[in-house]
Amino acid sequence: MSVTLDEIAEKAGVSRTTVARALNGKTKQAWSSTARRVQRIQKLAEEMGYRRNTAAVATRSRRFGQIGILTRHEMGPIQHNLNKGVFEAASRHDLNVTYAEVEFEGLTDPDYAPKVLRELCVDGLLVHYGWDIPTTIMDLIRGYGIPTVWLNTRETHDCVYPDDRQGSELATQRLIELGHRRILFAFRPNRKRHPFHYSTQDREQGYVDAMTHHGLKPVVVQIDHQPEDYAERITLWRQILEQHDKSTAVVCQNERVAYPLLVAAALLGRSAPADLSVATVLDTGGKGMPVSGITVPLESVGAQAVDMLTERIRNADASIPSIAVPYQSLSRQTIAALNT
């Protein structure tokens, strides 16, 4: 069915060992006759459609050539942006990525534990459950003794996350440069979770830092309850904008805040960016509606996490200090210079 080294060896009239060496480039090829033979074997292998059996390699080498990503469905859009970096880095290290979406309940119930944890099949694990992963779950995962790197989680070691404070500061600074002085910060804390996601606090902090640094007064608008109903949500933002009608710009926590805000502004006759500049942190890369935003550097987070993980795999029990990845650029769609 599938071609093995033995089959190639037989056809080439050499031993299995020679074939293996030729295919793995472990022949020095000092003589030209050897070089030619190596070439012939490689060509033969390709013609026969040979493909290395990773399972056999793994039993022998005690390395699976696989890393796992453990995440939950909710992380989806963020995970998607992480993926690009993860796969780029993984293919650089010649690693396969085993991807598992498992909710918390699935982790705690031993019968539903994912295969990546239950069985020996990956060299290391990228865990992406966000900031609010319970300690019990972290310990549970640690208990499996697999080298692990945590994404979007903040501990002193083995974590990689975006530098949210700096990102929000950058966005605010850009608006100030454009001449804006009355700038709001709008956010909606996720009340379902215990304290806020640290990124919420950080984004607010970055805004406040930028404002106070320029001697401006920060004004933070917080929505305690964001209605699920479309019309209600728009109304709510409309009221807020009416309250703060002197403001010329808004920095939003994320695009879920920015979108209804843009509609509400339009209903008040304020069209972005001419009448109102709206900048936001783009959790999901802003694929939906074009808004001026500063994109969370998730691709870089993913790539650096894989690099960190390979490091941890190589050196099984040495923790690595966590990394805060800086934000880079701001796109221009819904912000403009203040027209005085």
Taking CB under 8 A as the criterion, the residue among 165, 180, 203, 233 binding a copy of itself is 233
319 binds a copy of itself (CB under 8 A): no
Partner touching 131 among a copy of itself, DNA, none, CB below 5 to 8 Å by kind? none
What whole-number distance in Å separates Cα of residue 217 and Cα of residue 199?
22
Partner touching 24 among DNA, a copy of itself, none, CB below 5 to 8 Å by kind? DNA
Helix (H, G, I), strand (E, B) or coil at 136: helix
Dihedral (Cα; 249, 250, 255, 260), 10-degree rounding: -90
320 binds a copy of itself (CB under 8 A): no
Q: Which range, of 9-17, 30-38, 96-104, 184-192, touches a copy of itself by CB under 8 A?
A: 96-104
Q: Beta strands 124-128 and 219-222: pairing type?
A: unpaired
What whole-number distance in Å separates Cα of residue 315 and Cα of residue 149?
13
What whole-number distance in Å separates Cα of residue 89 and Cα of residue 82?
11
87 binds a copy of itself (CB under 8 A): yes
Instruction: Give the binding site for DNA (CB under 7 A).
Output: 2, 4-6, 14-18, 20-21, 23-24, 26-31, 34, 37, 50, 52-53, 56-57, 59-62, 120
Strand partners, 281: 294
What are the residues whose beta carbons fall under 8 Å from the beta carbon of 96, sequence distance 6 or more? 54, 65, 66, 67, 90
272 binds a copy of itself (CB under 8 A): yes
Q: Taking CB under 8 A as the criterion, which residues in 114-173 touch a copy of itself?
A: 114-116, 118-121, 144-145
**CB 147: neighbour CB atoms within 10 A?**
21
Q: Per-residue string for binding with a copy of itself, 20-59, x by CB under 8 A? A: -----------------------------x-xxxxxxxxx
